[in-house]
Structure 1
Amino acid sequence: MTAARDVRDRLRRAWLLHPRWSLALRGAIAAALAWAVGMLAPAPLSEFPYYAPLGAVVATTSTLVRSVRESLQTVGALLLGAAVAVGTDAVLAPDALSVAVVVGLALLCGGWRVLGDKGAWVANSAIFVLVLGQGDSTQYIGAYAGLVLVGALIGIAVNFLLPPLPLTPSDAALDDLRDALVEQVDDLADWLEHRGPLDPGEWERRRRALWPTVEGARRAVARTHEARRGNLRARHHGQRVTTLARRADVVVTSAEVVDELVRLLVGWESEGRERVALGPDLRPELATALRAFVAALRAPGYDDLRAAAQGPDPSPEEQFGDAVDGLRDEVRHARTTSGDDHLVASAILVVLRRGSLALLRDG
């Protein structure tokens, strides 16, 4: 029983981690239903049943709210392309020139902002209507646009009954970002502690290397927030959705903190500078604060048992705040004894304080 349950749990997690699988299932169901409806439709619609699955696929490849918008945009693009083809066909004979005119006008119309990324359908529709609609373009346009619309409505209905809610992929994207931040901050603390000023080229490369992971996490969370709208499943996962939003705010804020911190250190605590922001006296204190930052990022947040597990000891988030306070005291002491204003060190403190407050608000 345990082995069977483990296999089931692994399969379920794999299913949740790969929303493309559920998207394929929804699309297949909607396309099959749309085909059946197209076959049963009265003539002349039943002569073109393959256009209905096309609309179903358009509607099932996104969230519920977006599927409605994109379906309307697709049908609008089809009708606009048809209008371009019919208008051109009325004044030009069907030859290479008319094809060129139709495609050129359709591509121009496809850039209309209202159509969004469905503007390519204008040119597709125009060519189809021009080539295949010869003889009875009105009938062809009605069948083409009508069946796509019917298929889209079926796809929207399937999305409504089986709505996507990609919580697990968003969690995984945030995990990846947190792990990347932990690695970079840990390496930064080691470098400052054991090697001194940073190598600007290497650390600028490391800073930029984080951007794709940050953007991936932002996109994943944005998709989840969009998927909540009109989603029946979201009501049953309200707490998890709220937790995800809070966690996303903390992790993305932490990423911004790390980016700004490395940017400051590359500019002011790097090899080759005569005067650096921290120097050998303040680097160890910053390294200590960074290690506390790592511990806070690694802390098992968002767990109902967390408070009970902490006991009377300060949480990792609180220890990070204390470490930032310790660095602040050392900067004040250095400012008093050296006569230097330590403006960059103060800016580093502000950045770290932002990260500390974000983690404390979550904790």
Structure 2
Amino acid sequence: MRARPLSFLRGQWARHPRWALAVKGATAAALAWFVALLAPAPFSEYPYYAPLGAVVAVTSSAVRSVRESAQAVGALVLGAVIARGVDAAVGSSVVSVAIVVAVALLCAGWRVFGEMGTWVVTSALFVLVLGGDHPLEFTGVFASMTVVGAAIGVAINLLLPPLPITPSEIALDRLRDVLVDQLEVLAQRLEHDGPLLAEEWQRRRRDLTPTTDRTRDAMSGTREAMRVNRKARRYGERTTTQARRAEALGSAADVVDDVVRLLAEWERTDQEHVAFGPLLRPELVTALRAYAGALRSDDGTGPSDETVARCRETVDALGDAVRAVRRSSGHDLFVAGALVVILRRACSALDAAR
């Protein structure tokens, strides 16, 4: 009975990486504060800047924490230099604040600082407003304490590197469910309502984009976290399977987008000659449902052999039907043929995912 609550807690911990981030951030900040208090004066008089550097470092992957810490420190030093230069030239006034912010904002956009560029402005204002009667001393302490805190944050990140595998799997499951829903709704509408309303399906295409983007961001974070990560070997097979699944679902998202785009443009109510029409629409509905079934069968290790085989059969049947209608009607049916090619590419992606 005791193992079940522990298993539940471990599962929740894996599902919510921000919990681990909060613990690591709090630990790094507290340790940085303690180290700053032990430093000789005047460093110990400004201990609150060390936790600032620690938090900047610990909120990224192990690789990014090193890079972003260096970028943040560089941004902080540049901001301090800007503030001291402006203060020496025009003194502390409303004008100096305006000049400092303007120059710092321009420098914050430099690519070398990446996402840490905003610290140029923060540092400049800190040093300008709080530097007081000892501007050079404050500038040195501010930069030094931030560097110490960043070093502590990097060390903790290297000791306890994040590896967000479970959130990536959740994102992949969510993308799979959204794709299945799109295909099933599309099949239902084609079966019962005939040609589509273009506005509705353009909206459905747009609705798919945020889920796809979030999944790609999650997988990008996992791939980056694998670098310089002592857990990488332990989870190597799992991450390899996840990467293969992500590639397959990414291809599926492109397929669904192409299907919806083509049908929204060519199988709609205001078209005189639709792409499929009543003769081919039932075969298309069957193929779309078979593809949805194959995606649904993916439990994290790829779709089942049976559903993939069924998907191939229905797509081949759709291709045969398109050729038969083309011979009997004399119509080119270019769009229908293109959609058959897209669905065959989808079947190949399902094969690669197993």
Whether these two folds match at TM > 0.5 is: yes
1:165 pairs, out of 145, 149, 163, with 163
CA shift digits 1:90-136 (9 cap, x unpaired): 21122111121111111111111111121111111111112222332
Would you say 1:242 and 2:233 are equivalent positions? no
| Alignment correspondent of 1:38 | 36
Match of 1:147 among 123, 145, 148: 145
1:316 to 307, 314, 339: 307
2:329 matched residue in structure 1: 338
SS in 1 for 2:194: coil
Unaligned runs of 5+ in 2: none
- The Cα shift of 1:303 comes to 4.4
1:71 partnered with 2:86: no
Partner of 1:297: 295
| Shift, 1:5, TM fit | 2.5
**Alpha carbons 2:196, 2:263 under 8 Å: kept:** yes
1:362 aligned onto 2:353: yes
Q: Distance in 1 between matches of 2:283 and 2:270?
A: 22
The answer (yes or no) to whether the contact 1:214–1:255 under 8 Å persists in 2 is yes
- Structure 1 portions without partners, runs of 5+: none
1:260 to 249, 258, 261: 258
Q: Aligned partners of 1:272 and 1:132: how far apart in 2?
A: 67
The answer (yes or no) to whether the contact 1:318–1:360 under 8 Å persists in 2 is no
Per-residue CA deviation, residues 131-173 of structure 1 (Å, 9 max, x unaligned), is 2223322211111111111111100110111111000000001
**Which one of the candidate residues 32, 48, 51 is aligned to 2:49?**
51
Work out the CA distance in 2 between the residues paired with 1:277 and 1:61. Answer: 51
Rounded to whole Å, the distance in 2 between the matches of 1:184 and 1:107 is: 44
Question: What percentage of aligned pairs have identical amino acids?
Answer: 54
Which residue does the alignment assign to 2:226? 228
Cα–Cα, structure 1 residues 303 and 247, in superposed 2: closer, same or farther, change >3 Å?
A: closer
The worse-fitting range, judged by mean Cα deviation, of 268-277 and 292-301 is: 292-301
Deviates more, 1:168-177 or 1:126-135: 126-135
Query: What are the within-5 Å matches in structure 2 for residues 267-306 of structure 1?
Result: 267-303=265-301
Per the alignment, residue 177 of structure 1 pairs with 175
Matches within 5 A, 1:107-122: 107-122=105-120
Q: Which residue in the other structure is 1:217 paired with?
A: 215
Deviation of the 1:301 alpha carbon: 4.6
Structure 1 residues 168 and 217, CA gap change in structure 2 (3 angstroms): same
Residue type of the alignment partner of 1:193: E
Q: Hey, which bits of structure 1, 4+ residues long, moved more than 6 A?
A: none
Residues 63 and 227 in structure 1, CA contact (< 8 A), matched pair in contact too: yes
| AA at the equivalent of 1:336 | R
CA separation in 2, counterparts of 1:184 and 1:6?
36
- State whether residues 322 and 336 of structure 2, in contact with CA within 8 Å, keep that contact through their aligned partners in structure 1: yes
Matched letter for residue 317 of structure 1: V
Structure 2 CA distance for aligned equivalents of residues 272 and 93 of structure 1: 70
Q: For residue 343 of structure 2, what is the aligned residue in structure 1?
A: 352
Task: State the AA in 2 paired with 1:194.
Answer: H
CA distance in 2, matches of 1:130, 1:115: 21
**Cα contact 1:295–1:316 (8 A) shared by 2:** yes
**Contact 2:50/2:147, CA 8 A, preserved across alignment:** yes
State the Cα distance separating 1:343 from its structure 2 match.
Answer: 0.3
Amino acid at match of 2:119: W
What is the letter of the counterpart of residue 343 of structure 1?
A: F
Residue-pair matches, total: 354
**Matches of residues 183-194 of structure 1 in structure 2 within 5 Å?**
183-194=181-192
Distance in 1 (alpha carbons) for counterparts of 2:129 and 2:209: 46
Distance 2:92 2:81 in 1: 15
Asked if the contact 2:25–2:54 (Cα under 8 Å) also holds between the matched residues in 1, the reply is: yes
Q: Contact 2:245 / 2:301 at 8 angstroms: preserved in 1?
A: no
Cα offset for 1:197? 0.8
1:13 paired with 2:4, answer no
TM-score by length of 1: 0.94
* Residues 63, 227 of structure 2: 8 Å contact kept: yes
Amino acid across the alignment from 1:66: R
Higher mean C-alpha deviation, range 50-59 or range 5-14: 5-14
What do residues 284-337 of structure 1 show as CA deviations (whole Å, max 9, x unaligned)?
A: 111111111011101145449x9xxx7xxx621121112111111111111111
For the aligned residue pairs, the C-alpha RMSD in angstroms reads 1.4
The 8 Å contact of residues 21 and 59 in structure 2, kept in 1 or not, is answered as yes
* Counterpart AA for 2:342: V
* Residue deviations 1:228-267 (CA, integer Å, cap 9, x gap): 1111111110001101100101111101100110000000
